[in-house]
């Protein structure tokens, strides 16, 4: 989910939304609208795995961010903000950079046959960590929130409550107890089930406690800075390397991007390597800015 949010923030920051079309309007505020084609255009720039991991809340956030961008842009244009000299200079600079990048990519794109299957295989074999799916745990939890700046008596009372729930959870229906008692509303609605989570994203104390459990076992209360967790280990998945067919196109795109960048660097160096540099004038230019 975090990757999705970061990817979408980057796209919204650097890519203008497509113009309004007569397709389905997803959200509207005044004269500003976000349409189905707007969202489709944005999602095409996101890694497929990040798209699949995006939940309804993330998608709603994307739509609201896109709508806000359109509203701000409309307000700025109404006030002639785009006509200010400093803004015009930035627009022209951005235009020059876009033209330069696009042209460089067009004249330095590698041959369509690159990379070969052998080169893809070599990249796959040489970077196993890049294609490794980390170990993950399927957990359910009952979470009791600890009030900020809680005194010792409050902590002790909550600890006892968590102890009692852990004992009951070992003997009875964990899911029912989680629905009735857990203060993590998202997982509580699913009987405490948090699904498979990479070990690295778990709180250290929860990860350490879960490592001592066998599937089906329930932990003792785990205290963290925000509260107490009673967790049940449902299943585990060991770290695995994604098979080559699954990542082949990803590797192909990565290698072609790298080769394009290498070609562009060589191309630029060839254009300028014989150009003389007036070192005295350069020193004066540097000195004038200090």
What's the pLDDT at 23? 54
Write down all domains in the chain, each with its CATH number in brackets: 2-82 (no CATH), 84-131+245-284 (no CATH), 135-238 (3.10.50.40)
What's the pLDDT at 253? 95
Closest CA to 200 of 56, 2, 58: 2
Residue 198, beta-bridge partner list: 136
Closest CA to 271 of 95, 109, 107: 107
What's the pLDDT at 121? 97
Closest CA to 229 of 238, 217, 219, 237: 219
pLDDT in tens, the chain (290 residues): 445 544 544 545 444 444 444 458 999 998 889 898 888 888 887 777 676 767 788 888 888 999 999 999 999 999 999 999 999 999 999 999 999 999 999 999 999 999 999 999 999 999 999 999 999 999 999 999 999 999 999 999 999 999 999 999 999 899 999 999 999 999 999 999 999 999 999 999 999 999 999 999 999 999 999 999 999 999 999 999 999 999 999 999 999 999 999 999 999 999 998 899 999 999 999 999 88
Contact present, 187 and 178 (Cβ < 8 Å) = yes
What's 218's DSSP letter?
B
What's 192's DSSP letter?
T
* Burial 203-227, CB ≥16 within 10 A → b, else e: eeebbebbeebeeeebbebbbeeeb
Contact present, 174 and 218 (Cβ < 8 Å) = yes
What's the pLDDT at 159? 96
- pTM, two decimals, is 0.60
Q: How far apart are CA 18 and CA 39, in angstroms?
A: 9
What's the pLDDT at 55? 77
Q: How far apart are CA 237 and CA 180, in angstroms?
A: 29
Q: How far apart are CA 145 and CA 132, in angstroms?
A: 34
């Amino acid at each position: 989910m975090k990757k999705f949010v970061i990817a979408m923030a980057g796209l919204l920051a650097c890519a203008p939304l497509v113009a309004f079309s007569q397709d389905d309007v997803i959200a509207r505020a005044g004269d500003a609208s976000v349409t189905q084609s707007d969202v489709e255009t944005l999602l095409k720039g996101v890694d497929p795995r990040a798209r699949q991991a995006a939940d309804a809340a993330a998608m709603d956030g994307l739509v609201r961010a896109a709508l806000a961008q359109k509203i701000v842009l409309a307000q700025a244009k109404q006030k002639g903000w785009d006509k200010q000299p400093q803004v015009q200079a930035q627009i022209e600079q951005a235009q020059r950079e876009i033209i330069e990048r696009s042209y460089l990519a067009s004249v330095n794109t590698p041959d369509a046959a690159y990379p070969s299957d052998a080169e893809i295989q070599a990249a796959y074999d040489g970077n196993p960590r890049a294609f490794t799916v980390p170990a993950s745990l399927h957990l359910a939890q009952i979470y009791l929130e600890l009030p900020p700046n809680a005194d010792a008596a409050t902590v002790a009372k909550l600890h006892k409550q968590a102890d009692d729930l852990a004992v009951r959870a070992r003997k009875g229906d964990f899911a029912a107890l989680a629905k009735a008692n857990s203060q993590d509303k998202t997982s509580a609605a699913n009987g405490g089930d948090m699904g498979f989570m990479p070990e690295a994203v778990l709180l250290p104390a929860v990860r350490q406690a879960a490592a001592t459990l066998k599937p089906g076992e329930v932990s003792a209360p785990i205290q963290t800075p925000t509260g107490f967790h009673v967790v049940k280990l449902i299943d585990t998945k060991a770290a695995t390397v994604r098979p080559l067919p699954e990542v082949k196109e990803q590797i192909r795109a990565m290698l072609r991007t790298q080769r394009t960048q290498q070609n562009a660097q060589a191309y630029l160096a060839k254009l300028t390597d014989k150009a003389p540099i007036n070192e005295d004038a350069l020193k004066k230019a540097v000195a004038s800015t200090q």
